[in-house]
């Protein structure tokens, strides 16, 4: 366990890491295959990805456990591997984080809608998340990152799961926002910034913000950050943008923001009051090195 994340955050802005999925594909993960198996079968590759982000200057690294609920793993026939795959995810990240880095135990959407849109009840989801989060913390996670959320109700269950099984471990919630034709930010479920952020913080999230998102450019993330900081009322804010707005090229999704552009955006995010900046889709260790260097120019 590293020194307290929240007290460090008041001293200086911190740099989170970037995308995991693209790094796995670059190392040969087949499209559609379960990347979490690599936590056990190819831990050296996962450690190398984390180590590249640490070398880039990232203070926080995120475990390879985005689809780590039993519900999501069952799609790969791995529904009974929640404990070992999540525990291994945290262990390998812990090794790469070293003495001075923090490990965020990553919890993505469980893979379906809660009732009444889907078939899963909040109690069932609580059990799914508790199993995943318990394994992540047992493996050495310093905090839990409930990310890419669209439904505040799902985010809240994530917070409650962490607080009930690991009350000393801080929980971070980040939502994926999109921009409406009217220029307003909301999640895929139609929830606006204030409601989404308030509900996460009221449930006990110690840090809140946004990651990923649909077709947001770097300018959008800066405006979104202003709104989130305004809604968060003093709770620290994390923003993990994609590498710009994606475009399709020959059937592939391409993110084209350069490291320099992301570094410039990172400084504007800090000016908006953000305390942790990382990256989401399309970001690489090169992007994070530029962001990390930019953050280091600000010492408070």
Enclosing H/E stretch for 116: none
Nearer to Zn ion, 244 or 259 (CB): 244
Query: What residues from 224 to 243 belong to the interface with Zn ion (CB under 5 A)?
Result: none
Q: Residues in contact with Zn ion, total (CB under 5 A)? A: 3
Nearer to Zn ion, 247 or 296 (CB): 247
**Shortest distance, CB of residue 280 to Zn ion, whole angstroms?**
3
Reading the block at residue 86, the tokens are 């999540």
Q: Is residue 173 within 8 Å of residue 159, measured between CB atoms?
A: yes
**Shortest distance, CB of residue 127 to Zn ion, whole angstroms?**
27
CA–CA separation, 241 and 277 (whole Å): 8
Nearer to Zn ion, 277 or 281 (CB): 281
Nearer to Zn ion, 106 or 160 (CB): 106
Rounded to 5 degrees, φ, ψ at 94 are: -60, -40
**Shortest distance, CB of residue 11 to Zn ion, whole angstroms?**
28
Query: What residues from 275 to 294 belong to the interface with Zn ion (CB under 5 A)?
Result: 280-281
Reading the block at residue 262, the tokens are 């992301």
Residue with tokens 């968060």, as numbered in its chain: 232
| Among 63-71, 95-103, 128-136, 209-217, the segment contacting Zn ion (CB under 5 A) | 209-217
Cα 55 to Cα 63, 101, 103, distances in angstroms: 16, 11, 15
| Among 43-51, 91-99, 274-282, 289-297, the segment contacting Zn ion (CB under 5 A) | 274-282
Nearer to Zn ion, 172 or 281 (CB): 281
The torsion defined by the Cα of 285, 66, 200 and 296, in degrees rounded to 10, comes to: -10
**Shortest distance, CB of residue 19 to Zn ion, whole angstroms?**
7
- Does position 212 interact with Zn ion (CB under 5 A)? The reply is yes
Residue with tokens 């989801």, as numbered in its chain: 125
Query: What residues from 68 to 127 belong to the interface with Zn ion (CB under 5 A)?
Result: none
CA–CA separation, 178 and 186 (whole Å): 6
Nearer to Zn ion, 201 or 280 (CB): 280
Rounded to 5 degrees, φ, ψ at 117 are: -70, -35
| Among 69-77, 139-147, 206-214, 292-300, the segment contacting Zn ion (CB under 5 A) | 206-214
CA–CA separation, 160 and 37 (whole Å): 27
Reading the block at residue 76, the tokens are 């790969």
| Among 2-10, 43-51, 90-98, 205-213, the segment contacting Zn ion (CB under 5 A) | 205-213
DSSP β-ladder status, 185-187 and 177-179:
antiparallel
Nearer to Zn ion, 5 or 280 (CB): 280
Residues in Cβ contact with 42 at an 8 Å cutoff, skipping those fewer than 6 apart: none
Instruction: Sketch the per residue contact string, 161 through 200, with Zn ion: x for CB under 5 A, - otherwise.
Output: ----------------------------------------
Point out the residue whose Cβ comes nearest to Zn ion.
212
Q: Which residues bind to Zn ion, rule: CB under 5 A?
A: 212, 280-281
């Amino acid at each position: 366990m590293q020194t307290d994340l929240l007290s460090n955050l008041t001293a200086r802005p911190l740099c989170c890491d970037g995308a995991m999925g693209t790094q796995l594909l670059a190392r040969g993960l087949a499209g559609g295959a379960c990347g979490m198996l690599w936590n056990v079968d190819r831990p050296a590759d996962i450690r190398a990805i984390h180590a590249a982000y640490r070398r880039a200057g990232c203070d926080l690294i995120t475990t390879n456990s985005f689809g780590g609920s039993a519900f999501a793993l069952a799609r790969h026939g791995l529904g009974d591997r929640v404990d070992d795959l999540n525990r291994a995810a945290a262990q390998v990240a812990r090794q790469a984080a070293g003495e001075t880095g923090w490990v965020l135990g990553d919890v993505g959407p469980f893979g379906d809608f809660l009732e009444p849109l889907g078939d899963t009840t909040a109690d069932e989801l609580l059990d799914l998340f508790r199993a995943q989060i318990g394994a992540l913390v047992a493996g050495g996670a310093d905090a839990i990152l409930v990310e890419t959320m669209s439904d505040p109700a799902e985010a809240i269950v994530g917070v409650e799961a962490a607080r009930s099984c690991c009350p000393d471990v801080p929980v971070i919630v980040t939502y994926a926002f999109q921009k409406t034709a009217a220029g307003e930010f909301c999640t895929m479920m139609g929830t606006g910034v204030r409601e989404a952020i308030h509900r996460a913080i009221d449930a006990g999230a110690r840090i809140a913000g946004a990651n990923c998102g649909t077709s947001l450019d770097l300018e959008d993330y800066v405006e979104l950050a202003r709104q989130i900081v305004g809604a968060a009322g003093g709770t620290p804010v994390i923003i993990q943008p994609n590498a710009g707005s994606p475009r399709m090229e020959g059937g592939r999704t391409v993110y084209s923001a350069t490291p320099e552009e992301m570094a410039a955006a990172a400084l504007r995010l800090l000016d908006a009051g953000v305390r942790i900046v990382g990256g989401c889709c399309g970001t690489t260790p090169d992007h994070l090195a530029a962001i990390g260097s930019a953050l280091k120019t600000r010492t408070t």
